[in-house]
Amino acid sequence: MTQEHLAKLNSIDHASLRIARKYSEGLGDNQMTCLVFTTEMRTLQGTYPLLMQQIEGHPAPLPLALLGLEKSENLFLDESDLGWRTETIPLMMQKGPFYIAKEQDSTGVTRNIIALDERHPKLGLESGERLFSDAGGYGDHLERIIGLLETIEASHPHTLEFSTMLDALDLITPLDFKFTLNDGSAHTLTGFLGIDEERLQRLSEDTLSSLHQKGFLLPLFMMLASQSQVSRLLALKNDKV
C-alpha cells in the first residue's frame, strides 16, 4: 500500500462513501497471510495457523495468520453471505481499507488520524454501508472499525517486542515442508517460521517467568497450539481439488 492513495478520513469528502462488508477475492481478500497481534492470538489460535515470517524492513520476524497455502490464496473465503467461512476473523482483515496515520498539527504535536485507501475495491458510492450518517457522524460500521484500529494501534508495540524477544531467545524455527494433495499434485510451503517446541521446553524458570511478566507467555503458547491448524488448511485445500 503506497501512501499516495491514503486520504485523511473526513465527513465532507467521504460523506456518501459506502463500504462493502463482504469478503471476496474481487474485493482484495485473496491474501495468503495477514499480520496478527498478540492480543488476538487467543481467539485466532483455534482457527488459523499462527506462524511468523521475516518481512523486509523489520529486524525480527513478525507473527501472521496463514490463510492459504500458495500466493494469493485465501482458503477461508467461501460462498456464504459474509464470504468468510469462520466466525473469528483476524483484525487486519476486518479493518479493510482503513489505517491509523500520524499527522502533525500547527503546534507541532503529532496525533493519530484515521486514513483510508480511496482506491480500495471495498469502497464505492453505489453499494455497501455508508461510512457516515446523514448528520455527518460515524456510521455503526465505521465506529466498529475505529475501535479495531485502536486495538491494533495499542497492541502493535507489544507484538513487536514479542517477536524481538522470541527471536532473541532463538525460539523460532523454520517451517518448510512439502505436501501432496488428494489429486496427487505436490506443493511446497516455504519461508515461514514456527515456534520451536523443544527449545521452549528447555527455557529456564527465570526466562519463563520474565516472558510471563511481559505478557508473552500466553501468545507464545497460543502460537504453538495453533500449529495444528496447518492440517485444517490442507483439508480445506483438498476439498477444493
Partner 1 sequence: MNASPHHIVILGGGTAGWLVAGVLGAEFDTSSIKVTLIESPTTPAIGVGEGTWPSMKSTLLKIGLSERMFLEECSAALKQGTHFKNWLHGKGETYYHPFTLPHGFGEINLADHWIRGHLGDQSFASSVTPQFAVCEAGLAPKQLSVPEYAYTLNYGYHLDAGKFAAMLSAHAVNNLGVEHVLADVTAVTSRENGDIEALVTDKGPIAGDLFIDCSGFRSVLLGEHYNVPFVSQRHVLFNDSALAVQVPYGSDSKIATTTKSTAHEAGWIWDIGLQHRRGVGAVFSSAHASAEAIEPQLDTYLKESGSASGLSEFEPRLIRFDPGYRASFWHKNCVAVGLSAGFIEPLEASALVLVELSARSIAQQFPKTRQQMGTVAQRFNAEFLQRWEQIIEFLKLHYVLSQRDDSAYWIEHRQAASVPTALTEKLADWCHRCPWHLDERRVDEMFPSASYQYVLYGMNFKSELGKDSRRHSEASLARAHALKAEVDAQSSRYLQHLPCHRSLLDKAIAHGFAG
In the complex, what is the shortest distance from the CB of residue 159 to partner 1, in angstroms, rounded to a whole number? Answer: 21
Residue 228 engages partner 1 in binding (rule: CB under 8 A): yes
DSSP state of 61: -
Site residues (CB under 8 A) for partner 1, limited to 165-194: 173-180, 182, 184, 194
- Encoded amino acid at 209, one letter: S
In the complex, what is the shortest distance from the CB of residue 185 to partner 1, in angstroms, rounded to a whole number? Answer: 11
- Helix intervals (H) in 4-139: 41-44, 91-94
Q: Which of residues 14 and 232 has its CB atom nearest to partner 1 in the complex? A: 232
Three cell numbers, residue 214: 511481559
Asked whether the beta carbons of 177 and 189 are under 8 A apart, the reply is yes
Write the DSSP assignment of 134-183 as a string of letters: TTSPBPHHHHHHHHHHHHHHHHHHHHHHHHHHHHHTT-EEEEEEEEE-TT
In the complex, what is the shortest distance from the CB of residue 228 to partner 1, in angstroms, rounded to a whole number? Answer: 4
Q: Which of residues 52 and 131 has its CB atom nearest to partner 1 in the complex? A: 52
Stretch in the footprint of partner 1 (CB under 8 A) among 9-17, 33-41, 213-221, 229-237: 229-237
Binder among 196, 200, 216, 219 for partner 1 (CB under 8 A): 196
Q: Which of residues 64 and 123 has its CB atom nearest to partner 1 in the complex? A: 64
Three cell numbers, residue 137: 457522524
Q: Which of residues 129 and 176 has its CB atom nearest to partner 1 in the complex? A: 176
Stretch in the footprint of partner 1 (CB under 8 A) among 59-67, 116-124, 130-138, 224-232: 224-232
Count of residues interacting with partner 1 (CB under 8 A): 22
Give the C-alpha separation, 230 to 51, whole Å.
10
In the chain, % helix, strand, coil (3-state, to 5) comes to 35, 25, 45
Sign of CA dihedral 168, 170, 171, 177: positive
In the complex, what is the shortest distance from the CB of residue 73 to partner 1, in angstroms, rounded to a whole number? Answer: 16
Q: Which of residues 54 and 210 has its CB atom nearest to partner 1 in the complex? A: 54
Residue ranges binding partner 1 (CB under 8 A)? 173-180, 182, 184, 194-198, 225, 227-231, 234
